[in-house]
Amino acid sequence: MASLVACAPPYYTADPIEAWVVDAETGQPIEGAVVTANWQLVSVGLDTGGRKLHQLEVKETRTDKNGRFYFPGFTKLNNMVDELREEDPQLLIFKPGYEYYRTVSSYPNREGQPGAHRTARFNGEKLKLTNDDQNIKKAAANLSSLTTNLESIANAGASNEVPQMLRAVACAAKRLRAKDSHLIIPVLGNAETEKNCEPE
């Protein structure tokens, strides 16, 4: 077991991230989209995939009028001696009226993992959001999928790091349920999260 724990470095360094969010159809910048980035630690063990128990870092911001967002770089101690794997970070982008966007890194082989220094593969890119599906049930399924991808942050006790995303999702779910009260859309947070939602 000691040899497995030794695989994880005692610290990680992540480079800054700068990217732009644009409309997939028009290419125009999207202002005000909520962007979260979370560096997911996976417990080292004998099981095949490991368990997602802790976050190394969680960040949140919004895009500016040019669709730009920026996260500063950091160096963090790896107190849990767990591993960063493909979610270094997991990037989630959401704005009402669009389908949410998710991307992660991809390391198909263990030998391909980059070690303690991480650079996001989408740094410097234009990330394209597509218009939300006009079918309410499909839009609800898309929103539920976003909630699922936020669960690892919540399960690690880091929900307070992504308040804008949780509120945006809760408000979008509230608007969809107003159109169809039979929709079941799981959301994170509490009743306060969807208070004072802006009109669509």
pLDDT at residue number 109: 59
Only one residue has tokens 């063990």, namely 45
CA distances from 75 to 10, 118, 124, 127, 175 (A): 11, 10, 20, 26, 40
- How far is Cα 65 from Cα 115, in angstroms, rounded to an integer? 35
Q: Please provide the distance, in angstroms rounded to a whole number, between the alpha carbons at the two ends of the chain.
A: 53
How are beta strands 90-94 and 52-62 bridged, if at all? unpaired
3-state secondary structure of 194: helix
pLDDT at residue number 132: 87
List Cβ neighbours of 191 (8 Å cut-off, separation of 6 or more). Answer: none
Listed as ranges, residues in the chain with pLDDT below 70 are 1-7, 44-50, 107-113, 189-195, 198-200
pLDDT at residue number 46: 59
Residue 157 per-residue DSSP state? T
Phi, psi of 142 (to 5 degrees): -65, -45
pLDDT at residue number 3: 41
For the chain, what are the domain ranges?
2-194
pLDDT at residue number 160: 94
Cβ–Cβ under 8 Å, residues 95 and 33: yes
Q: Any idea which fold 2-194 has?
A: Immunoglobulin-like (2.60.40)
